[in-house]
Amino acid sequence: MVVGGGMCASVKSAVKTLLFFVLFCTLLPAFVISYATVSTTRKLWIAFLANRYPYLKFARTNNIRSLVDTSRNPGVFHILLQVEGVLDIHAIRAKITDHVLARRDHYGRPCFSRLKFPLISCWGQYAFVKKTKDFNIDNHIILAPSLHRGRPLTEANLQDYVSDIISKYMPPEIPPWQIFCIPMAYGGTASGSAECDASAPYYYLLYRIHHLLLEEQQNLRISDLLLIDRRIENEKRISDCDSIFANLLERPVYLPRIWNDIGATISNKWNEFIYQHDPLESPDIEKKHIAGVQQLVSVVLIAVVTVVSDFSKGFSKVPGNPLMKIDYLKSLIDREIQRRNLNLRTIWNAIMMSIDPINVVKELIFLFWKVGATLTLMLPWYVFQEMEAVRIYILMKKIKRITLIGFALEYLPVCFGAFLEYWKGVKLFYSAPKLVFEELFEHKPNTEHYLQNVSLCGRKVVSWSERVRSTELQATRSDQPAAQRTGFLRSTARNKPLSDIEVLLGVMSKSLKALCQEGDGKIPSMIQISGRCMLEDYLFGLTNYQTGNSGFVSLNLPIAVENNQQLLQNIRSSIAQIRRQQVMLNFLTIAQLKHDFLTDGLPLVVMKLLMNYLSRRFAVTVTEVIENRNVGQYRNLLGHGIKDIIYFRPPQSNTSVSITVQKFNDEIRFACMTDSQINPKHLALTAGFRKHLQDFQQL
């Protein structure tokens, strides 16, 4: 019965996979038509609005965040920077003005003009008002009071003060960015004040930046506003990190090798062909005359390839007018005709030379001599070389690459490995529609939770945990003596040790459980969260948005498990499920991140309904910030060292909680941004961070 049930389930799964793949193939042409229609219509609509309102500069960005962005729930990123040194707001204003606001390109135009333009909504499209006379930097770089509710600003009340600032909307009449300079009391025991921090002088900078300022000005990076002194030589890519949210697709080995070898072979043969037939490249060919139709065809082929190559390289550099691009193509054709003397007289002379009886006889004699020499002299030599290649391989295990035997010995295993990688990709593509549907739309029992039913207001509050050293986290998974490890941890130590993120997900599970208990008291069996990772290099200007951010994945985070060992085991199972089933989902989100193909291809109403549903299903989102250990201490342009940074990603649409796993300076902490309707229960997400971590250390 068990075998029959398993076979029935396998058949059912196979049929379901087939049906979803057929449905996908059926809908694909409709999506292509929709993409062409929606993207073209949107461009025409924006062009019409730009012509109708010339004093507005409409935003061209069409990603997910701009889709769900509203004035009530704007996509404003918040970054809290802890800087050592004495706060000098005038120096900060001067540096921002000189380094950012007054910067100009090589044409003398302002680089970041939108930083001086207010942002409004016009006919459903965001637009910047092109006016700068009302711009006042004092409205954007603000000195915070040294007292909060009658007490000096210290670490004890900093979170309350920062949440109070973030919960207020930015004034709509000014450009959507602000920097709050927060002076901190210091000197603690030396001054006899228990309210002060006993430490060297330091201050905080709270940045509020609307996402469109960064997306509409691709040369503007967060680090420009953070005034970070960049170190480009230490650049890192998202493909280099080992996060569970990145690099789900196993990199092929054999397919790139074959592709590179084929490309190198074609390039070498093409260069050899040019040398043998191009009068401009070979000193052995007459440059003024073309000897026969064969050389004529070769020269024409070389000219066509040269024109196509140069046109593709210079296409983006020519202004957008199609007539100018056509003129550019015509100039390339005229250039090649003049360089290679391709006129009617040259073509006629080449044809007549080819049909000349004397030349025909010469060609036939040369052909017969070449065939005879190959059969009588070269063929035995080739056979000897092949036998020698077999002997060398058998006796010395070396491959003689210039022979057919050597080529087969080297490339047959490579071709077999490439075929296996190709077949794996085909199976992944075939099963992708079913897996994506199951992950995004299939109902999972007992996953309804408190955070999905909160009536959101759009205002945000934040909190963050205390920092712990990475060594404390490593102690959780490796420092216990082998005799003290029990159950799952002991088997883990033998096979694969716990990673940092697995332990942190266990802590997060405990924190979300505490939040649900304070909410409606109902504990779900698991919570579906969406996760991604981001390099700290993106915040510090060492990489751009596309290379510094990963795609999204869905993680079924167990919540109701009481035993910590079982909790870690369930988390590891969930992570393994991500690796097996969410490769294509991660790939699709990366494609959307880089090319916006979904928002450009589906109608606005469909996308909004889809995002409303998905943001409620994944009401909790997690961002893991990966530190770059190759960089020492960061410093700003004022010469002050960066002691700490906290990144808050805004939850939008129906998402109510955004958690950041912040790694910086070999320290880790949780930071969360939630809707203010959850306040003050959101403190449960970060208050027990160290306690939960210690619970796992006691396993």
- Give the count of alpha carbons within 13 A of 598, CB side only: 20
Within a domain: 153:
yes
**Of 1 and 697, the one with more pLDDT:** 697
β-bridge pairing 177-183 and 141-143: parallel
Within a domain: 681:
yes
Q: Is the same domain home to 48 and 84?
A: no
Query: CA 298, CA 287: separation in Å to the nearest integer?
Result: 14
Is the pLDDT reported for residue 361 higher than 90? no
Residue range 138-153: average pLDDT? 88
Residue-level pLDDT at 284: 57
pTM, two decimal places: 0.82
Q: Which residues contact 613 (CB under 8 A, 6 or more apart)?
A: none
- For 52, the 3-state DSSP assignment is helix
Query: Which residues share a beta bridge with 228?
Result: 636
pLDDT band at 234 (very low <50, low <70, confident <90, very high): low
Within a domain: 603:
yes
pLDDT band at 41 (very low <50, low <70, confident <90, very high): very high
**Of 281 and 585, the one with more pLDDT:** 585
Query: CA 574, CA 439: separation in Å to the nearest integer?
Result: 12
661, 501 contact by CB (below 8 A): yes
Residue-level pLDDT at 491: 46
Residue 635 CA to chain centroid, in angstroms?
Answer: 26
Is the pLDDT reported for residue 606 higher than 90? yes
Q: Is the same domain home to 30 and 83?
A: no
* Structure tokens belonging to residue 524: 């779900």
Give rounded-to-5 percent helix, strand, coil for the chain: 55, 15, 30
Q: Is the same domain home to 469 and 516?
A: yes
Nearest to 448 by CA among 518, 523, 557, 556: 523
Q: Is the same domain home to 514 and 548?
A: yes
Span 395-415, pLDDT tens digits: 777 777 677 777 777 788 888
Within a domain: 162:
yes
Nearest to 513 by CA among 246, 695, 244: 695
Nearest to 153 by CA among 177, 121, 180: 180
DSSP labels for 542-580? Answer: SS-HHHHB---EEEEEE-S---HHHHHHHHHHHHHHHHH
Within a domain: 436:
no
Query: CA 607, CA 236: separation in Å to the nearest integer?
Result: 33
Strands (E), 166-299: 177-183, 202-210
Question: Minimum mean pLDDT among 193-207, 527-541, 572-586, 678-692: which range?
Answer: 193-207
Residue range 40-52: average pLDDT? 93
Q: Is the same domain home to 636 and 520?
A: yes
623, 658 contact by CB (below 8 A): yes
Mean of per-residue pLDDT scores for the chain: 83
H or E, element range at 626: strand 620-626
Q: Is the same domain home to 77 and 215?
A: yes
For residue 643, CA distances in Å to 81, 151, 181, 245 come to 8, 24, 15, 27
Within a domain: 453:
yes
Q: Is the same domain home to 47 and 72?
A: no
Span 153-191, pLDDT tens digits: 888 889 999 999 999 999 989 999 999 999 987 653 333
Q: Is the same domain home to 516 and 558?
A: yes
CATH number, domain with residue 612:
3.30.559
Share above pLDDT 70 across residues of the chain, in percent, rounded to a whole number:
89
Residue span of the structural domain in which 28 resides? 18-52
114, 213 contact by CB (below 8 A): yes
Query: CA 553, CA 581: separation in Å to the nearest integer?
Result: 10
Span 625-676, pLDDT tens digits: 988 877 778 888 898 999 999 999 999 889 999 999 998 888 899 999 999 9
53-82 burial, b at 16+ Cβ within 10 Å, e below that, comes to beebbbbebbbbbbbbbeeebbbbbbbbbb
Q: Is the same domain home to 531 and 639?
A: yes
Which residue carries 């007292």 as its tokens? 147
Q: Is the same domain home to 150 and 69?
A: yes
For residue 544, CA distances in Å to 235, 594, 637 come to 10, 11, 20
Is the pLDDT reported for residue 70 higher than 50? yes
Is the pLDDT reported for residue 464 higher than 70? yes
497-514 burial, b at 16+ Cβ within 10 Å, e below that, comes to ebbbbbbbbbbbbbbbbb
β-bridge pairing 620-626 and 526-535: parallel
Helix and strand tally (H, E) in the chain?
A: 25, 17
Q: Is the same domain home to 178 and 45?
A: no
Count: domains in the chain: 3
* Structure tokens belonging to residue 336: 């090649």
Residue-level pLDDT at 489: 46
Residue-level pLDDT at 602: 92
Query: CA 59, CA 596: separation in Å to the nearest integer?
Result: 14
Nearest to 82 by CA among 208, 238, 244, 226: 226
172, 118 contact by CB (below 8 A): yes
Span 280-317, pLDDT tens digits: 776 655 555 667 777 788 888 888 888 888 888 887 77
Residue-level pLDDT at 493: 42
Residue-level pLDDT at 474: 67
Is the pLDDT reported for residue 341 higher than 90? no
98, 632 contact by CB (below 8 A): no
* Structure tokens belonging to residue 104: 């100009």
Is the pLDDT reported for residue 622 higher than 50? yes
Query: Which residues share a beta bridge with 531?
Result: 553, 622
Within a domain: 377:
no
Q: How far apart are the first and last CA of the chain?
A: 40
Within a domain: 259:
no
Question: Minimum mean pLDDT among 4-8, 137-141, 248-252: which range?
Answer: 4-8
Q: Is the same domain home to 39 and 182?
A: no
* Structure tokens belonging to residue 75: 């996509």
Query: CA 651, CA 653: separation in Å to the nearest integer?
Result: 7
